[in-house]
Amino acid sequence: MEGQPVGPEPPPRGTRFGSPLVLSRVHWVRPKMVVEVSYVEWTPDGLLRHVVYLDEREDKLATEVQRNPPHASGR
């Protein structure tokens, strides 16, 4: 296995976690609670990195929440 200095080859990338997504095993839920979090990054595949729970938001309904637009980097 040339090019793989440590361990076996990585699993195929059917999903972010390596195995294909099986929709029959997905459990969908309705949003009922709104929380405020901080995070380092929103990845291109829609996942948050390094999430920290800050507080529960009782002033908003789950149906009112929208994804914030990305902020321009100040670097």
4 pLDDT band, cuts 50/70/90, is very low
Task: Give the pLDDT confidence score for residue 40 in this predicted structure.
Answer: 93
Q: What is the mean pLDDT of the chain?
A: 76
Task: Give the pLDDT confidence score for residue 52 in this predicted structure.
Answer: 96
CB 51 within 8 A of CB 39: yes
CB 56 within 8 A of CB 34: yes
**Residue written as token pair 């929208």:** 66
Torsion angles phi and psi, residue 37, rounded to 5? -130, 160
Torsion angles phi and psi, residue 48, rounded to 5? -90, 140
Structure tokens at 51: 């999430």
